[in-house]
Homo-oligomer: A and B are copies of this chain.
């Protein structure tokens, strides 16, 4: 029997859900989008995804489709359920795998979005051929997937890889999880904005002498400070923006130095909105990680940007789950 040619990938986000059909080379053949919050129940939501894909499945041939992979916040690989997720419109435990299998009559696998990204990166991206790496998604929060011995570490209950909730600063900033000092309160799109607010609030400099596209004049003018705005200001030579990236990279680099001592990876792959700032975030992260590494790990571990485009990564990661 020939191996099946296609798989279905579904990336479920708080705002948008993207689904598509992918081949074994990582080419996305069709892609469909719906708004996650438009649906009153998970069952209606799954029905809508099916409606989007039905004609494509018939076109490519149902018998040629290996299965469905879905990445979603708080999705558990073992149980097939989504635990109550603050970012999703439905607050109950969602039996997503079962809903998908019933709707599509195909085998389904689900995992959280960070793990899906790690599998996508290993199957199609920057981690191709790697057996030990850490995948980090610097989005609204900080997600992570740890691969060791060529396998994703799910842990006993499917909840491994919560690097975003490792304590980076003891008694530090209050996190949504109710604890203090979690890494994602510092090193994420949300975290860098918190740092910017702290630094800008504490600034004693005179903004009237600065170019208007620097952060202090923007902040004093009452405009919103965003992760991409900080990147723009850094590109304009704003030293405050550079200092904000330096601090963000310091906290991330220090924590990664510890993360390395757990799994001794070949590489750490950075992905997500904040990673788009390129060297502004990569350089301080590398520098502080190296400074803090135990000597046996020094000068060995690459920190590299994702090999997949932001647009494609989530759906490829989800689709890659179905090949496993």
Contacts and interface: CB of A to CB of B under 8 A. Distances in A.
Interface of A: 83, 131-133, 146, 148-149, 151, 153-163, 165-167, 169-170, 177-179, 254, 257-259, 261-266, 292, 294-297, 300
B263 A146 contact: yes
Contact of A261 (B131, B162, B257, B263): B162
B165 A155 contact: no
Contacts of A158: 264
A295 B154 contact: no
Contacts of A162: 261-262, 264, 294, 296
A119 to B, nearest CB: 14
A126 B158 CA distance: 22
B296 A83 contact: yes
- Report the copy number of this chain in the oligomer: 2
A132 B148 CA distance: 13
Given A149-B149, A151-B151, A179-B292, 15 more contacts: A83-B296, A132-B160, A133-B156, A146-B263, A148-B155, A153-B263, A155-B263, A157-B264, A159-B296, A162-B262, A162-B296, A165-B294, A166-B258, A166-B261, A167-B258
A297 B159 CA distance: 8
Given A162-B261, A262-B262, A149 B153 contact: yes
Given A149-B151, A162-B294, A265 B156 contact: yes
Contacts of A146: 262-263
Given A148-B148, A178-B295, A258-B167, A265 B155 contact: yes
A264 B160 contact: yes
A48 to B, nearest CB: 29
A79 B146 CA distance: 23
Contacts of A133: 156
Contacts of A265: 155-156
* Residue from A83, A148, A166 with most neighbouring chain B CB atoms (10 Å): A148
B157 A300 contact: yes
B264 A177 contact: no
A308 to B, nearest CB: 21
Contact of A155 (B154, B160, B166, B264): B264
Contact of A177 (B148, B167, B169, B295): B295
